[in-house]
């Protein structure tokens, strides 16, 4: 069975500070991992994805995530938060044997000026 | 348009009524997914189409829910005898193919409220 756990439903950071959003997955087979961002009243937008190539994945808007198999983690980071980063972030997992995506419950990021 | 579109953006209905939610995928995308997102939760898989056929409908909660994609493009999610618990945002996503590296592109969703 596949599942995703996002630790911290709400994260607040100061503008310019490091952003760290946590995601741990469980998967019986090598997974594909994704981070999506959702702005209010908008659809989910892909930030980045891991597909078994490089373990450090760079995405849009300065975000990156590192796949750590030993920790079953895929945490999302950004060195310096911008006000425009305030949104809901979802981690998702998909196996290479199925077509279902499993999403975490999301982390709401607040950026404090 | 270039993206996935969904209509209506908002739908308010009364308990027991029938509703239809429409999804227009990105042109050329063969795979189409429906998800349900309840307040404070992540999207929950409902059904997946590859072309015209429902390849996986294991996420549909019960037989009141049904979806079609008759021509392999536009899809309609149908909910019969709506219940208050059906209130949620219904998301549609499409992708070029169903494989491990596929990227799903999401629409803005339809916000359904059952009174």
The torsion region of residue B48 among left (phi > 0), alpha (psi -120 to 50) and beta comes to beta
Higher pLDDT, A6 or B98: A6
Band the pLDDT of A98: cuts 50, 70, 90: low
- CA-only gyration radius of chain B, Å: 13
Token pair for B103? 């990227």
> Closest Cα to residue A43, out of B71, B52, B24?
B24
User: What's the mean pLDDT when you consider all of chain B?
Assistant: 92
List pLDDT tens digits, range B24-66: 999 989 899 999 999 888 999 999 998 898 888 989 999 999 9
- How wide is the angle at C-alpha A18 spanned by C-alphas A15 and A24, nearest 5°? 130
Nearest C-alpha neighbor of A61 from the set A45, A41, A72: A45
In the structure encoding, which two tokens stand for residue A49, read together? 């994805």
Between chains, do A103 and B43 touch, taking CB under 8 Å as contact?
A: yes
Which pLDDT band holds residue B110 (cuts at 50, 70, 90)? Answer: very high
Residue A43 distance to chain B (closest CA, Å): 4
pLDDT in tens, B65-80: 999 999 989 999 999 9
Closest alpha carbon within chain B to A10: B40
């Amino acid at each position: 069975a596949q599942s995703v756990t996002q630790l911290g439903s709400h994260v607040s950071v100061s503008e310019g500070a490091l952003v760290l959003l946590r995601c741990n997955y469980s998967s019986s087979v090598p997974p594909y991992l994704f981070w999506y961002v959702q702005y209010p009243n908008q659809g989910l937008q892909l930030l980045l994805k891991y597909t078994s190539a490089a373990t450090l994945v760079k995405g849009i808007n300065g975000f990156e995530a590192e796949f750590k198999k030993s920790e079953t983690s895929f945490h999302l980071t950004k060195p310096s938060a911008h006000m425009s980063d305030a949104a809901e972030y979802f981690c998702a997992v998909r196996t290479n044997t199925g077509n279902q995506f499993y999403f975490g419950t999301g982390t709401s990021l607040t950026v404090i000026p | 348009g270039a993206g996935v579109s969904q209509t209506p953006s908002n739908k308010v209905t009364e308990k027991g009524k029938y509703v239809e939610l429409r999804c227009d995928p990105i042109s050329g995308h063969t795979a189409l997914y429906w998800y349900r997102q309840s307040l404070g939760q992540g999207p929950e898989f409902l059904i997946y189409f590859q072309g015209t056929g429902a390849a996986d409908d294991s996420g549909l909660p019960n037989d009141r829910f049904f979806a079609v994609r008759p021509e392999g493009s536009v899809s309609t999610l149908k909910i019969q005898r709506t219940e208050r618990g059906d209130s949620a945002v219904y998301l549609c996503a499409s992708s070029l193919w169903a494989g491990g590296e596929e990227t799903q592109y999401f629409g803005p969703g339809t916000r359904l409220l059952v009174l």
